[in-house]
Amino acid sequence: MQLADFNAMTPEQASAAVRPCADIDSWVAALVAGRPYDDVDRLLALADVRARAWTPAEVEGALADHPRIGERHGGSGASATLSTREQAGVDPHDADVQRRLAAGNAAYEERFDRIYLVRAAGRSAEEILALLEERLTHDPETELAVTAGQLREIALLRLEGLLR
């Protein structure tokens, strides 16, 4: 999609276009309300600023639209397609990686009571596993901040991919 197309959409269409980037109402509304944008960099800058203001509840709520690392998105549509593409570095047929991810995901969920979210795009399974092991050492407050940062990275990459 071109930026001019995004600028010309109805608010409902524009919301639907950016929601797969991050399913956070306040963020989607801010991006839609900020139209028209002169260039993609300005939109990305606003998206970054708004993402840094996400509340813990907004971050937690947005996790519902993300599958566990190593698993496929259960839905269909843009978010599922993006998730599958982003996790391309995780071979679903590598039994050892799948076993390690399942164990790590379970340990993470036991410790933090939410899914392990990481920007998987551009990362190998080994990198994702190393980050998982590191993040299991965090205290809950630190880990929530890291999770929010990872969600922000995912959202900005998705938004940039949508418009470039």
Q: What CATH number should be reported for the domain holding residue 76?
A: 1.10.3330.10
**What are the helix and strand counts (H, E) for the chain?**
9, 0
The predicted model scores a pTM of 0.89
State which residues form the domain around 67. 3-163
The answer to whether the bond into 20 is cis (omega within 30° of 0) is: no
125 vs 83: CA distance, rounded Å? 15
Closest CA relative to residue 119, chosen from 78, 157, 160, 62: 157
- Take residue 20 and report the two structure tokens written for it: 């797969």
Distance of CA 121 to the CA centre of its chain: 10
pLDDT at 25: 98
Per-residue pLDDT tens digits for 47-76: 999 999 999 999 999 998 888 887 765 565
Q: Using the predicted structure, report yes or no on whether residue 88 has a pLDDT greater than 60.
A: no
Q: How many domains does the chain have?
A: 1
